[in-house]
Amino acid sequence: MGIDLTNNCVAWWKFDNVVSGFGGVVDSSGNDHHGMVNLNSQSLVTGTGLIGNSIRLHDGQDITVPSDSDFDFTLGPGGGFSCLCWIKSAGMYEWEGDLNVATHALISRMAASDPGSTACPWMFFIGGPPFGGDGLCATITFESYNQLMLSGTPLDEAYFADEKWHCCILNVSRVGNTVTATTYIDGSQCVTGSATVGLTESLMATTADLCIGTLAGTSFDITAWLDSFAIFDRALTSDERTWLYNDGDGQESLSDIVAPKTIFQQGSGSSMFRKTLFQQGG
């Protein structure tokens, strides 16, 4: 069987045609979760990405995606979700030394009126105070304010400062009462952790917008080139993560399945003979 994540993709921002203002970041998943680039009185910077084009967030810029029920991952028994993004250093001074200088937000769902609190169902970030240590981190918050926080120091201080594209993945899954969250960097596991929750317990509910490149209401912004941010409504398998990473080259689509093609046809009517070729990428 091939890999096909098309129906599991909640949103996919490729940054190929970015303009300022609402709708400036197009959702290529078909679910119309288009984003707004908040320029913060600065210029819009775009350039060549890993695949197609990319956007560079800087000087407090971020992207807002309007709240939608598609982002309400209840995370009940058997549930899960995942996030994927590609980032590249923009030569920012923050990453020339210790990562532990601040939180660099990748993507989050947090109310601006209650920043940094347990009112955030989930956030994915490159660690630093106040939310975690060095590394690729995340927090998952349940309705009882029970938090699963991933933090650690598995990355070299200069890991992201090499001006190369890096693939970051957050995987969250639940089996019974156990929720497990794991981050991956460039195809390798970074940080993992688990928490026990109540049988009927789900993620903290919110109507907050989705934020790319910031934690709403805070100064924990990222300065970096961004390409291909995607959210899926379940945890990715090992094969899917490997395929999406593609040895650092990424993927231009969400499926490696090619539609069957007729390569030979002879005769007509009831005597017609047709040979069909089924192809699978890889």
Cβ-based burial of 214 (10 A; exposed 0-12, middle 13-18, buried ≥19) = buried
d(CA 34, CA 274): 43
d(CA 83, CA 90): 22
Domains, the chain, in order of start with CATH, read 8-255 (2.60.120.200)
pLDDT confidence bin for 101, thresholds 50/70/90: very low
pLDDT confidence bin for 272, thresholds 50/70/90: very low
What is the rounded radius of gyration, in angstroms, for the C-alpha atoms of the chain?
20
Question: Is 50 exceeded by the pLDDT of residue 100?
Answer: no
Which pLDDT tens digit goes with each residue over 146-201?
788 887 666 665 677 778 899 999 999 999 999 999 999 999 998 899 999 888 88
**Structure tokens that stand for 225 in this block:** 């080139």
Residue 34, C-beta contacts closer than 8 angstroms, at least 6 positions apart? 22, 23, 24, 25, 26, 27, 65
pLDDT of residue 143: 80
Whole-model pTM: value is 0.85
